[in-house]
Structure 1
Amino acid sequence: MTRARKNLIDLASTSYYHLIARCVRRAYLCGDDKYTGKNFDHRREWLVERIKFLSSIFAIEIAAYAIMSNHYHLVVNVNKQQALDWTDEEVIERWYQLYNSHAMVDRYVNGEQLGEGDLAFFSEIIAKWRERLYDISWFMKNLNEYIAREANKEDNCTGKYWEGRYKSQALLDETAVLRCMAYVDLNPIRANIADRLEESNFTSIQARLAHLKSCTNKDTVKTNPPVKHEDSFQKNQPSQLKPFGGSNIKHSIPFALRDYIELLEWSGRLIAPGKAGCIKQTTPKVLDSLNIEQVHWLESIQRFMHQYSNFAGSKQRLKQQAAMNDVKWYKGAG
């Protein structure tokens, strides 16, 4: 049974969400369509650029993404407090990048003195826009509608492009965030269309590694003595993605980037059949720190979508969330 979105997205419980959207029927987001012989790889660029653009407007940060042939995955963090801290002028500037101007708001922007009634109406408008600018549904609306219009224009057709409304999973704890991000970033390796993280096209891990390599090379040339490699991992991160930082750094993903890359490389060698390279016998540092067993980790990054439904987390967190929503249980707790 379809559940109301308000029952699936609860910022009081978590700010992290896994979002998935899939094309309808055989509509291709990217890649080669064997039925028509057409290649749609350029649509990946549309999606990545649109995601970056929207994240610069909304108070929604991108932790991970993977653009596949007929669907895509996002892991986002909603920064509600950031939106609440914006001035009215900042809200207007951001909203106007997406939608046409509003006559009442234009009067305020142009310095016109508003009466008490008009000022109250203006405040209502700004409050509504501010709320929408940290609303996942409005983010996804602006993402999916844009891609659908562009694809239909290119295909010279009309009609439905996406299979249905986007799917969401609330990530209730740090372990769920880590598992889901790894599940998303390892999509191309799991699907046998890439052998290495650097070759996992249109994923956030590829973007992070490319940016890290570029910045590390620059630091090595420009600094004397060169920047320590360990420091470059934390400092050199792409601005369009939510940064890794560890538990002691505010407003960051609560893990070190170096540990995350090590974890993905180790996991990729285990889940990819015939993958070349030596597999370390030691457990990655981040799994030890979170007390996650290897077998449970590998199962979760291959079957994350099947292990959980709309909520993902430890059994305790799932039971707590179920009790809060007045339901008996959530998938993954049993």
Structure 2
Amino acid sequence: MTIARSQIIQLAETLFYHCVSRCVRRAFLCGVDQVSQQSFEHRRAWLIERIHLLASVFTIDVAGYAIMSNHYHLILHVNHAAAQALSDREVAERWQVLFKGSKVVDRYLAGEEGVAELAQATLAKWRAQLFDISWFMRCLNENIARRANAEDNCTGRFWEGRFKSQPLLDEKALLAAMVYVDLNPIRAEMCKSIPESEFTSAYERIHGKPCEDSTGASKKPLMSFISTDSNLNEACLPCTQAQYFELLDWSSRVVRADKKGVISIEQPPLLQQLAFNQNQWQILCTSLGKVTHGAIGALNQVEHFHQSRGCKRRPRTDVVVQLFG
């Protein structure tokens, strides 16, 4: 049974979500159609450009992404605090980057107090939508669908139903999902190493751009890792960039048995801190999208998440226990 998005995305439980959208039937997001031999690779740039634009408008951080042939992955962080800190004028300016504004709001911002009540109600609605994942994904998918359909000279659905969203309830779940997403091209044998995996967040973090041919600067950088310069009030990923890339490189060697270089028996320190064993981690790196589609994290957090949704039936927890203890 379809679950209401409001029950899946619960900011009181977690601010991190793994989102996936997939194309319908034989529609191509990117890649080369083996039947017509037509290349759709340029659409990867459409997605990256749009993702960064939306990240600069919404108070939603992009922690990770991977653009594949017929689907894409995003790891999103809802920066609720940043949305609440925006002034009314900043809310209006951000909203009007994507949508038509409001004459009432314009009059209010110009100093006309007589329309304050109506304008503030509109601004409150806009502010809430600026940290809403559903609105973020809508603005992304609708734009790409329109452009792709226009290019293909067709109409109708481009995306396969609703986007999927997976709550990431703790640091272990977040980092496991990030590694799983960044390793997508290697698992699909589109490339052999992380520095070659274009159109992933790992490539962008290494090279400062999403692909080799990219020239324009991103409108908003990816969510940052913890560093000595981190602001205590700034939302950051729960490890350093060096720790993450050490874990990612080790994981890529586990995923690809034919990859050059010996897999060290000694696990990366970050993996030990997360209390994963190699078998658990290998399952997560290769099959996270297959073994579980619901909320992931420690068992007590998963159960609390489902209770907060008002679920009467206790969800199956065998996979959660196997992978997260």
TM normalised by structure 2 equals 0.90
Instruction: Find the partner of 1:295 among 276, 279, 287.
Output: 279
Matched residue, 1:245: 226
The one-letter amino acid of 2:190's match is I
SS at match of 1:96: helix
Query: Retained in 2: the 8 A contact 1:246–1:254?
Result: no
Say yes or no: does 1:65 pair with 2:49.
no
Matched residue, 1:310: 294
Matched residue, 2:310: 326
Query: Retained in 1: the 8 A contact 2:21–2:163?
Result: yes
Distance, in Å, in 2 between the alignment partners of 1:246 and 1:2 is 41
Deviations 1:244-291 (A, max 9, x none): 116995411001111111111111111113111122221101011121
Distance, in Å, in 1 between the alignment partners of 2:89 and 2:219 is 27
Query: Retained in 1: the 8 A contact 2:52–2:220?
Result: no
Distance, in Å, in 1 between the alignment partners of 2:14 and 2:228 is 16
Please state how far the C-alpha of 1:148 moved relative to its aligned partner: 0.5
Query: Retained in 2: the 8 A contact 1:311–1:330?
Result: no
Distance, in Å, in 2 between the alignment partners of 1:15 and 1:247 is 23
Distance, in Å, in 1 between the alignment partners of 2:125 and 2:207 is 38
Matched residue, 1:162: 159
Matched residue, 1:194: 191
Map 1:20-39 onto structure 2 (within 5 A): 20-39=20-39
Change in 2 beyond 3 A, CA 1:300/1:4? same
SS at match of 2:73: strand
SS at match of 2:18: strand
Say yes or no: does 1:90 pair with 2:90.
yes
Deviations 1:75-97 (A, max 9, x none): 01000010011000000000000
Change in 2 beyond 3 A, CA 1:186/1:24? same
Matched residue, 2:75: 75
Query: Retained in 2: the 8 A contact 1:309–1:330?
Result: no
Matched residue, 1:276: 260
Distance, in Å, in 2 between the alignment partners of 1:246 and 1:295 is 30
Query: Retained in 1: the 8 A contact 2:186–2:193?
Result: yes
The one-letter amino acid of 1:294's match is Q
Distance, in Å, in 1 between the alignment partners of 2:316 and 2:237 is 25
Distance, in Å, in 2 between the alignment partners of 1:158 and 1:239 is 32
Query: Retained in 2: the 8 A contact 1:188–1:194?
Result: yes
Deviations 1:39-88 (A, max 9, x none): 00100000001000000000000000000000000001000010011000
Aligned residues: 307
Give % identity: 43
Distance, in Å, in 2 between the alignment partners of 1:89 and 1:74 is 29
Query: Retained in 2: the 8 A contact 1:319–1:333?
Result: no
SS at match of 1:311: coil
Matched residue, 1:125: 122
Distance, in Å, in 2 between the alignment partners of 1:248 and 1:305 is 34
Please state how far the C-alpha of 1:204 moved relative to its aligned partner: 0.3
TM normalised by structure 1 equals 0.88
RMSD value, Cα: 1.9
Matched residue, 2:143: 146
Query: Retained in 2: the 8 A contact 1:318–1:330?
Result: no
Distance, in Å, in 2 between the alignment partners of 1:98 and 1:239 is 16
Query: Retained in 2: the 8 A contact 1:247–1:254?
Result: no
Please state how far the C-alpha of 1:121 moved relative to its aligned partner: 0.6
Query: Retained in 1: the 8 A contact 2:16–2:174?
Result: yes
Higher Cα Rg, which structure: 1
